[in-house]
A and B are shown apart, each in its own frame.
Chain A
């Protein structure tokens, strides 16, 4: 690893994100890794190593790594960390930076569009409400107005055929 390839400001960039502050106190004890249910099945996913790379300033390597998306957000690491790093939250901060840099999987934008269209991740139409009524459950409505405003997205016209999600 060459120092010239490292960006020493990266850890500060992470620390400026909500929940990212904890990265500065990590002393690499690997309690997070020891308690990680993902790492125990997939050793190449190692939260301690990801945080180390981030602290060293390996910006592109971290942000472009598909491994950062394997955090299951279970918060085990946050519970056992002696430095209160809140590793799950630091990884969320890193994922947010990766998304801003264009490295996120496309599902994020697809979900945002779905929320702008329906206010819910799963649509509720007549079919769903009929099924609910059969069980004596009250109808559920879609109220996407606020979601469009907060997401800054208008509900979309149907995309022409051939265009991906």
Chain B
């Protein structure tokens, strides 16, 4: 199996443990993730200011990626949401598509409808499948409990993410956790946003959004929270100390990437999966792999 990796802006600079574990796990599952040097920003950062330009940048990425004929696999939920929405928009609105084509043509690019974009988590669940993943599990994580954090753009808007999970009662990430033998925690704030989207506009608000989840999970004493997006990681891991201080609360929640626990369960070592770079160490988990 081959797929095209879409790294985006943040992961290849700030979340090397995510990228490393994603590549290792994909290879272990027989998925060859191809790189493409031309792929840069997906356009998301400009959407609030000028969505026509943001759409052009997304269309450019889709045109480049589409030329390979491969499924495009982002690791970032914002990239996945933006590219899925753009492809949906371009495929269903010929007028917009024609307008965008006029801008891409001078660059020697053409958007051809039907580019398939799948966030890595969705790709693992649907295209690789739980059965194939289960066959690779050699070190079940039976003794651990993880709290899934779905975030927003893996699932929503559901009119675009057709045929995938139910955003009001999601199970996809829990199933990917449970395939390792671990428990997936259901909790009150399971479905809520990390707050990353408003970090720039109102840091205090963003901190309280992430904080209520972190406080709940501190009480629940989970092994770790499982994330699939670099921005969610910024809020829950990068900002964790700041949030604890601001809220005056004892907060201690290790944060890991889905691909890191899948890798451990497949017999890869913590070093190979970049655990050295995790800032809130999942001590209980790592102690079992010494």
Contacts and interface: CB of A to CB of B under 8 A. Distances in A.
B192 A96 contact: no
Interface in A105-133: 105, 107-109, 111-112, 115, 118-124, 128, 131-132
Interface stretch (A3-11, A26-34, A53-61, A146-154): A146-154
B41 A121 contact: yes
B201 to A, nearest CB: 4
Greatest chain B CB density within 10 A among A112, A120, A128, A149 is at A120
Interface in B1-19: 7, 9-10, 12-14, 16, 19
Contact of A151 (B12, B19, B53, B197): B53
B16 A135 contact: yes
Interface in A66-93: 66, 69-76, 78-80, 86, 88, 92-93
Contacts of A111: 45-46
Interface string A14-53: 0001110000000000000000011001100000000000
Contacts of B45: 111, 115, 121
A19 B86 CA distance: 12
A122 B13 contact: yes
Given A38-B205, A104-B49, A115-B57, A122 B16 contact: no
B51 A86 contact: no
B242 interface: no
A75 B196 CA distance: 14
Interface residues of B, number: 56
Contacts, number: 154
A144 B57 CA distance: 11
A89 B237 CA distance: 29
Interface string B34-78: 010110110001111111110111001000000000000000000
Interface residues of A, number: 58
Interface in B142-181: 152-153, 156-159, 167-168
A121 B11 CA distance: 11
Given A96-B51, A137-B19, A78 B156 contact: yes
A131 B35 CA distance: 18
B263 interface: no
B157 A18 contact: no
A66 to B, nearest CB: 8
A121 B57 contact: no
A152 to B, nearest CB: 9
A92 B54 CA distance: 12
Contacts of B13: 122-124, 128
Nearest to B20: A135
Given A115-B41, A122-B13, A140-B7, A37 B103 contact: no
A108 B49 CA distance: 6
B12 A37 contact: no
A38 B208 CA distance: 9
B106 interface: yes
The 5 A-B pairs with the shortest beta carbon distances in the complex, nearest first, are: A108-B49, A72-B197, A119-B40, A75-B156, A121-B9
Given A108-B49, A124-B12, A135-B20, 6 more contacts: A75-B153, A95-B49, A104-B48, A115-B46, A137-B12, A150-B57
Interface of B: 7, 9-10, 12-14, 16, 19-20, 23, 35, 37-38, 40-41, 45-53, 55-57, 60, 89, 96, 103, 106-107, 109, 152-153, 156-159, 167-168, 192-193, 195-198, 200-202, 205, 208-209, 212, 274
18 contacts: A17-B51, A41-B209, A70-B198, A72-B196, A72-B197, A72-B209, A74-B197, A76-B193, A78-B156, A93-B51, A99-B48, A112-B53, A121-B9, A121-B10, A121-B45, A124-B13, A147-B40, A151-B53
